[in-house]
Amino acid sequence: MNVEEDVERLKEEIQRLGSSQPDGSFKVTFGVLFSDDRCANIFEALVGTLRAAKKRKVVTYEGELLLQGVHDNVYITLLQPKSLPSGEAAATTPPADAS
């Protein structure tokens, strides 16, 4: 897979695992994304894919580099949602506040 394909797959996974927000974006924590079995099988380098998506302004999150354990509670926000395949619904409950 190339980077563009990985970024598109990342969009799908954030929508699958994340919560939709009133502004149309989706949020998921790094820990949820990193520990998901499906994501582990899809992305050889999740952190690299996240950095590429951030550079393309597809996602936003605090910091430059996310590390498992240390940054598990960091929210990743998908700014450019992708249409979900039929039969898949995103969660509609907002994520718990991390404060």
pLDDT above 90: residue 96:
no
Residue 64: burial class (beta carbons within 10 Å; 0-12, 13-18, 19+): exposed
Q: Tens of pLDDT along 4-35? A: 999 999 999 999 999 999 999 999 999 999 99
Cβ(50)–Cβ(59) below 8 Å: yes
Cβ(77)–Cβ(26) below 8 Å: yes
Q: Tens of pLDDT along 42-80? A: 998 999 999 999 999 999 999 989 999 999 999 999 997
> What is this structure's pTM?
0.78
Distance CA 36, CA 24 (A): 23
